[in-house]
A and B are shown apart, each in its own frame.
Chain A
Amino acid sequence: MSRHQYAMVMDLNKCLGCQTCTIACKKLWTDRDGTGYIYWNNVETRPGLGYPRQWDRIGGGWKDGALQPSPLPTMDDYGHAWEYNYEQRLYEGSRQPVMPTPDPQSGVNWDEDVGALNGEDNYYFYLPRICNHCTYPACLEACPRKAIYKREEDGIVAIDQDRCQGYRYCIKACPYKKIYFNEVTGKSEKCIFCYPRLEKGEVNACAAQCPGRLRFVGILDDPESPVHKLVHLYRVALPLFPEKGTGPNVFYVPPFNPPKRGNYGQNILEDPRLPLDYLVYLFGEEVKDVIARLEADLKQAQEGGHSEVLQLLIGRDAETRYRVRPQLVQING
C-alpha cells in the first residue's frame, strides 16, 4: 500500500469522444520508435470491442488470491498499421482509387459511434481509459523481474525500464490490458499518470487538454480533493470492473441519461436509455445506487435546490477539477 494515492475521476456524461486526451498523451509520451500502436490513453465507444479488442473479456486480474490466466493480445487485436498507395495513384498511372494496405480489420477507436441497440434505439457512450494505477496491481505481482513498482509517495504504478526485459507477463495479468510491448526497445510500457508533471504541480496532460472538462484529479486520501469527494463523500464514481480485484484508482461517473421516452412519470432506472445490465457489467451492481443518487440530486436541482455534487461535476475551472499537491506526496513529506 502506498502512503498516498493519486486518482482520477472521469465523468462519462461529459465525454465528447474527441480524442484530444489521446493526442495530448500520444504527443507527450508515445511518439517514439515502437510506439505506433501504443496508446497510454485511449477513448473507446461503448458498447464496443475496445482496444485491444475484447480486452474486457480475455482474462487477467485476481480471483481468490490468484492471478487469472489471459492470452496476450496480438497485433490483430490492436490492428495493423496501414499505408495508402498514393504513389501508385499519383505518380504511377494507377486508375484505382487510393486504398489502404493491408486491408484494415481493426484499430484504435475502430468501432467509433457504432454502439448497440436498446430495443429499436441505438445507444452508445465514450469510455476514456488510462492505466488504473491499481491498489493491488496484478501486473506488479506478475513481473518476475520486479520491474514494476508502486510509488510509495503517490501510488502511481510504473515500469522500471532498466529492469524490464519485455517478458510480457504484466500484459497478460492486467485485466484492463493497459500495458503495451514495445518491440523496438524490447520492453513493456504504460501510463505513468504524468508523474513528472504532477511533481511540478501540473495536472496530467490528458486532463489539462480535455475540452469536455470531464477529468478530476487529486489525491484520494485528501479530503479537499475533488476525487475524494466524488468517490468517498458523494459516492457517485465507481471503478471499472471492480470484480477484477485489482482496486483501480481511476473512477467513472456512470452515464446518467434522461429516461428513454421522456418524463412520463418514470425515472431513469425505470426507463433507462442505456440498458442497466450493460452499466452493471461495467461498474457492478452499485451503479444502480449511484444513478439513483445522481437522479435525486438532479431532481433537487431542477426544483430550484442546490446540489453540491452536480456543481462539482460541472467543474467550471481547473481549481475545482484538480488538486495537485506535490508537497503532500514528497517521499519524506
Chain B
Amino acid sequence: MQIPRWILALTVAVTACSPGVAETAANPVAGTSLPVASVSASEDAILRGGNARWSQVAAKKISLNRTPPLFDTDEPATLEIPTADVRLLRAGGKLYVQLSWDDATRDTATLPTVPGTPPEQRFRKVPTEADDRFFDAAAVMVPVHPGSPVNPSLQMGDPGHPVHIYYWNSARGAMLMEAAGRATTRRTGQSFPVDAAYQNRQWVVTFEMADQPAGTPLAFAIWNGSQQDRDGRKYFSVWYTVE
C-alpha cells in the first residue's frame, strides 16, 4: 500500500520545533504557551485531510470561562463547555489553529439560499424559518500589532490595541472581523479558509490565518447555540502565547 505523501511529510515535519511539542496529545502542555508544529503540507491537506495529521500535534487544553450575565435580571449561564483543545500548525506561511471542544448539541442549520432576482420581482419571498435559534460558533482573536508589550483587552481589544477576530459560525460561515474595544466589532467583508466537523458530540474547527510570530497572544471564544449564546454571551479564554 502506498503511503500518502502528506503523511510522510507530516511525519517528517512534526518535530520538536519547540519544547512543548515534546509532550503528546494525550498529555496536554501546561502553562499559557501554545506549541507550534511545523509541517510542509498543503492548505487543502491541513484543512480537509481529516484528523490524522492533527493527532500528532500536541494539544493545549485551555480553560473556558462564561461571561457574566449582560443584564442583572438574567440568570447566570451554566458551564457546559469547561475546556477546549487548541493545536497549532505552521505551514506554507500560514498559521493553522485547530479548536476542538465537546458539545452535546450540534446547533446549526442550512439557511435558505436567497435567489439572485430582487424580491420585488418574485412572488415568493424567502421565509424566516425560525427566529429563536442560535448557532454554534467559535473565534480566535489576535492583536493587529502582535509585538506590543501589553496584551489587548480581552473585550475585543481597546483603542490602543486593535484586534483581528477570525470568527466562524456553523450556519453563516467564516468572517474576518476587526475591533478596538467592546461593541466596536466590525465585519471587514473578508472571509478566510476554515474547516469544521461535528462528530461524536465534538466540534473540530480549523482556522487558517496569517502566520503569527512567536510571542503572539491568541485568545479563544466559543458560542454554544443551545445556550442562546451570541455576542458577549459566550465562553472565552484568557490570552495564550504562540511559542
Q: B120 within 8 Å of A by Cβ? A: yes
Contacts of A171 in B (CB 8 A): 131
Return the contact of A73 from the options B112, B128, B132 (Cβ within 8 A): B132
Residues 99-155 of B at the A interface (beta carbon under 8 Å): 111-112, 114, 119-120, 125-132
Do residues B128 and A37 form an inter-chain contact, with CB atoms below 8 A?
yes
Per-residue CB contact flags for chain A residues 111-142 toward chain B (1 = under 8 Å, else 0) read 00000000000000000000000000000001
Contacts of B71 in A (CB 8 A): 66-67, 69, 142
Do residues A184 and B128 form an inter-chain contact, with CB atoms below 8 A?
yes
Bound complex: CA A249 to CA B230 (Å): 31
Q: A84 within 8 Å of B by Cβ? A: no
Do residues A75 and B131 form an inter-chain contact, with CB atoms below 8 A?
yes
Bound complex: CA A73 to CA B70 (Å): 19
For residue A33, give the distance in angstroms from its CB to the closest CB of chain B: 4
Q: Which residue of chain B is the closest to A142 with respect to CB atoms?
A: B71
For residue A280, give the distance in angstroms from its CB to the closest CB of chain B: 26
Do residues B183 and A144 form an inter-chain contact, with CB atoms below 8 A?
yes
Contacts of B193 in A (CB 8 A): none
Return the contact of B125 from the options A35, A67, A78, A146 (Cβ within 8 A): A35
- Interface size class for chain A? 20 to 34
Do residues B128 and A182 form an inter-chain contact, with CB atoms below 8 A?
yes
- Interface size class for chain B? 20 to 34
A-B CB contacts (within 8 Å), total count? 84
Contacts of B126 in A (CB 8 A): 33-34, 184
Contacts of B127 in A (CB 8 A): 34, 36-37, 81
Return the contact of B128 from the options A35, A67, A145 (Cβ within 8 A): A35
- The answer to whether A167 and B72 touch (CB under 8 A), given A33-B126, A75-B129, A181-B128, is no
Contacts of B128 in A (CB 8 A): 34-38, 75, 181-184
Bound complex: CA A230 to CA B125 (Å): 40
Residues 43-83 of A at the B interface (beta carbon under 8 Å): 66-69, 72-75, 78, 81
Do residues B73 and A75 form an inter-chain contact, with CB atoms below 8 A?
no
Do residues A183 and B131 form an inter-chain contact, with CB atoms below 8 A?
yes
Contacts of B74 in A (CB 8 A): 69
Bound complex: CA A100 to CA B75 (Å): 40
Bound complex: CA A114 to CA B75 (Å): 37
Bound complex: CA A153 to CA B128 (Å): 33
Bound complex: CA A280 to CA B51 (Å): 64
Q: Which residue of chain A is the closest to B131 with respect to CB atoms?
A: A181
- The answer to whether A73 and B131 touch (CB under 8 A), given A144-B183, A165-B231, is yes
Q: B172 within 8 Å of A by Cβ? A: yes
List 15 extra interface pairs beyond A72-B132, A183-B111, CB under 8 A: A33-B125, A38-B128, A67-B73, A72-B228, A74-B132, A75-B131, A75-B132, A81-B127, A168-B131, A168-B230, A169-B70, A181-B128, A183-B128, A184-B112, A184-B128
Q: List 6 A-B contacts (CB under 8 A).
A: A34-B127, A37-B128, A69-B75, A75-B129, A184-B111, A184-B112
